[in-house]
Structure formats: C-alpha cells, structure tokens
Structure 1
Amino acid sequence: MALPVSIQEVVDAMQLPNDDWCSYLNVDTGEIVTVTDEDRRLVEDDVALDDVPVWQREVLPKAREALESDRFLPLPGPFDIHEWSIMEEFADGLSDEDSRAEVLDALRGRGAFRHFRSTIERLGIESDWYRYRDSAFERIAKEWLDANNVPYR
C-alpha cells in the first residue's frame, strides 16, 4: 500500500518558480523529484555520470528514475493549473464592487499577471490573494491525488 503523501509537499512542488521544470511523485514512497530541463536533456542524451559535475551525480539517477519508471507520476504543472483562471475567480469573489472591477480590469490585455499583482498590492489585498491561491492549489492537488488513487495527509 502506498504511503500517504503530504499535501503541502505536493502543493510546494506544483508552485515551482520555473515553468520548464516538472515534479514527479513516486506513488509507492511519496517522494517528490523535480526534474529540470538540463536534467531531462542529460537523461535523454544518456550522459555518463562521470561526465557531469559532482553535484549532478546525486541528482541525475533520481531524475532518470522519475522519467523512466512507471512508479512516478508527473504532478500538475502550469498547463494543468491555469493560474489566470484562479486569479479571475479570486477577483469575481471580491465583495467590494470597486475592487472587483479594478482587479478584473487588471486581468485584461498584455501584462495581465504584472497588472494583477500591482493592483492587489495597491488595494492591500495581496495576503487575501495568496491565501486564496494556496487554497486553490491545495484543491487541485487533492483532486489530482484522488484521481490517481494516492492517499494523502
């Protein structure tokens, strides 16, 4: 039986700052392995461990296992999460009509993410946004774990 996975660890891995990285969950152990583009390239090119820096010699075998083993599942990434929709849901839920209109307006056009962040900061609702975002990511993580029959805590 699979070990229960930490929801917080899954959420943290889903919130990676780089869209080109991917995290994988070992469904047997609950271990999460993050694979960078460079790790992926080295594995695909079958580069020998002796040909990489010492620090990568520890990382590369785990990356290879995550990429090649059916025990690892890719966690939801940016293309699965749709953060813009989460931002729009947050804005729609604002009780102050003027704030709601301003935040929704910030989401339109070029630079929507930057405008959204500056608007919520100016309105003093940044902490509300981050709580909402964390809750949305937790919901997505739970739905993904349920769909993959992975127990969590």
Structure 2
Amino acid sequence: ILIYMYKENKNYDQAEKVCLDGIQQSHSVDFYHLLIDIYQKTNQKNKLINVLKQLLCRKQGNVEYYKQLKQLYNQEEWQKEKQEIITYLEKQNNNIIDIYLEEKMYYSLMKYFKKTNDVIQIKKYEDILFKNVPKDIIEFYENYIYKVLKKSGTREIYQQMSSYLKSIARYDFDKAEDIYHQLELLYPKRYAMLEEMKIERSLSVQLIDIIFAIENSSNHVTSYYNKKTQKIVSLFEELIDQNLIDEIDENWDQYIALLSSYDVHEYQIMQDFILNLKNKDIRDQLWNTIHGKGAFRRFKDLAARFGILEDWFLYLNQQYRKIAIKWCRENNIIYVE
C-alpha cells in the first residue's frame, strides 16, 4: 500500500527504496515487478536492465523477461549483450529452451537436448528440429534407438522406439529403412520388436491441393487421392476419362475419396459466419435473407452491400483449410503448407 501511495504521488525515490527493502527481506517477485514499473515511468534504463537481468536469472531464463530486456537495446548492442546473457544462463544450467527458440538458435537447442538426454522434450520440439537441424536430431534418435534396444524390452518399449523411428521416416524414409534393416540383422529373433518397429513410407500432399479440390467439388466433379503417386486426380461428369475410371475401379485400394460438396456443409459455414458478426443489425438482415432458394446469391449481394464480402471469403477459406487438415489427419496423410 505504501508503495502505491508513493507512486500515486510520484514520489518514485521512496517507492524504489521500499521495493528494494522488500526484495532484501522477502525476495518476492512482486517487488521486482513494481521496480520495473517505477523505472519505466522514470526512464531509468540502466536500472531497468539490471532488474530484468536479475529476474531472468531468478526465473531460469523466463522468455518474457528476456523479450523485455531485448527491447531496451539497439540491434548492435543487443548482439553483444545477448551472447553474454545466454552464456551466463547456460553456465547456471538454466532451462532456456524458449530463449533458444526466440533467437532461432536451433543448434544450441539441440546441443542442450543432447546434454540433458531429454527425449520427451525433444519429441515436443521435433518438428522445429527436423526442419532446422535434421542431421542432428536423426543422429540423436538413431543412437537412442540402438542404445535402448541393446537389451530386450517390452512391447511398450518397442512401441516407444517405433515412434522415434517413424519420426525419422517422416523426414528421411531411406535412413529409417536402413535403421530397420540393421535391427533385423542385429536381432533377427526378436519378432515382437521387429513387428512394432516396422515402418511404411508416409503419405504426403500439398495442403493447398486438398483445399482446391474440396473448394471445387460438386455434383459434376469427384476427386481422389492416389496413395501410390501421392497426387490428386479428378473425374469430370462432362469430360469422361474412361481410362482413369478403369484405373480407379481396378486399384480401388490405392485411392482415397476426397470430401464432396455434401460433406463440406457450406450453408452451415455461412450460418456460423453470420452468427459471429458483431453488428446486430447486419447480422439480423443477413440471417433473414438466407432462407429458401437462392440463399447464397442473396447472402453475397447483401454482404457486398455491407462491405463484408471479403471477410466472408477469408472466413470461408479458413474453414476449408480446417476441413482439409482434418481430412489429412483422419487419413494419416502428412500435409505440406
């Protein structure tokens, strides 16, 4: 209460003194936060930097304090200061994963994981690591798999090792296949292990191709995903391709049907868009116009008049994207942005 009274009267020197005394007695983070507010209001940059550094060390590399500190330097100053701060935090054995991510220091992040041998944490960030330091994480997973499987294990252990091998396969199938064949040579009689560790080449697709196919689905167009070629093919009612029809009929197990216009429920999407509008008058007028034949045409005409037609198209595209992602996940297909 005393601190707030001093701040209210702009007696910042006294407020600062009470905060510093409070820190010495209780080390409460609240006093640090009050000091930050005081130093911000009085433009005391050096003191503000000092407090943020103390908090950064106390809170084991809390990235929010790190970001606040970063904003107080120009780019040239920060490059030097950043390395000193990170080096200090590393020596204190602090968990600074979020700081590594903030600075895009992926090699340092991987080095930290190797040091801690924390495969659970690596699994959490593996997409980022595979994208930026693929060789390092593949090598780590490979060594970890061999190390664990030196001893015979349970089904649960084999399933865990299989998850790491499958992660490798998503990014480098040939490497994962080599590891599996090596395990076959090392442990030919571990049938349960080999059964769990078996991998299949992952299916993938460009997400935009799925979205485009769904957007253009109709009573006259039917699209399929070919698991062998990993491409999308379409059948058009007005342009009969008998060869493609025969190919799909003869190899039905190689094709996955994409969603049709009946599966998308665009009318429901339109209703949801209207119900989410903040302007009650516009919302009510649009709602009243979407009943009966020609609902979509009337809706678009009125939306254009209200100046929200672009908002509708953006919303519709976002919903198509969600639908496409859901379809990919349900069919175990990796989508590429």
TM-score interval (norm. to shorter): 0.7 to 0.9
Q: Are 1:37 and 2:234 an aligned pair?
A: no
The within-5 A match list for 1:1-153 is: 1-16=201-216, 18-38=218-238, 60-69=242-251, 70-153=253-336
Aligned equivalents of 2:248 and 2:322: distance in 1?
Answer: 24
Counterpart for residue 48 of structure 1? none
For 1:35, what is the secondary structure of its paired residue? strand
Q: Which runs of 5+ in 2 are unaligned?
A: 1-200
Question: Taking structure 1 as reference, are residues 68 and 83 closer, same or farther at Cα in structure 2, changes over 3 Å only?
Answer: farther
Q: Please say if residues 217 and 261 of structure 2, whose CA atoms lie closer than 8 Å, have aligned partners that are also in contact.
A: no
Q: Please say if residues 22 and 77 of structure 1, whose CA atoms lie closer than 8 Å, have aligned partners that are also in contact.
A: yes
Aligned equivalents of 2:307 and 2:249: distance in 1?
Answer: 42
1:12-53 CA distances to partner (integer Å, 9 max, x unpaired)? 0111164321011112332010101245xx5xxxxxxxxxxx
Question: Taking structure 1 as reference, are residues 4 and 105 closer, same or farther at Cα in structure 2, changes over 3 Å only?
Answer: same
Question: Taking structure 1 as reference, are residues 67 and 16 closer, same or farther at Cα in structure 2, changes over 3 Å only?
Answer: farther
Higher relative contact order (CA 8 A, sep 6+): 1
1:93-150 CA distances to partner (integer Å, 9 max, x unpaired)? 1111111111111212222111111111111111101111011111111111111111
Aligned equivalents of 2:250 and 2:300: distance in 1?
Answer: 38
Query: Alignment identity in percent?
Result: 30
Question: Taking structure 1 as reference, are residues 66 and 127 closer, same or farther at Cα in structure 2, changes over 3 Å only?
Answer: farther
Normalized against structure 1, the TM-score is what?
A: 0.80
Q: Which has the larger radius of gyration?
A: 2
Normalized against structure 2, the TM-score is what?
A: 0.38
For 1:23, what is the secondary structure of its paired residue? strand
Aligned equivalents of 2:236 and 2:332: distance in 1?
Answer: 26
Q: Please say if residues 218 and 261 of structure 2, whose CA atoms lie closer than 8 Å, have aligned partners that are also in contact.
A: no
For 1:120, what is the secondary structure of its paired residue? helix
Alpha-carbon distance, 1:63 to partner: 4.0
Q: Which structure: greater helix fraction?
A: 2
Aligned equivalents of 1:149 and 1:125: distance in 2?
Answer: 36
Question: Taking structure 1 as reference, are residues 121 and 64 closer, same or farther at Cα in structure 2, changes over 3 Å only?
Answer: farther
Q: Which runs of 5+ in 1 are unaligned?
A: 43-58
Aligned equivalents of 1:36 and 1:79: distance in 2?
Answer: 17
Find runs of 4+ consecutive structure 1 residues off by over 4 angstroms.
none
2:287 maps to a residue whose letter is: L
Alpha-carbon distance, 1:68 to partner: 3.8
2:212 maps to a residue whose letter is: D
Aligned equivalents of 1:139 and 1:68: distance in 2?
Answer: 32
Aligned equivalents of 1:61 and 1:145: distance in 2?
Answer: 27
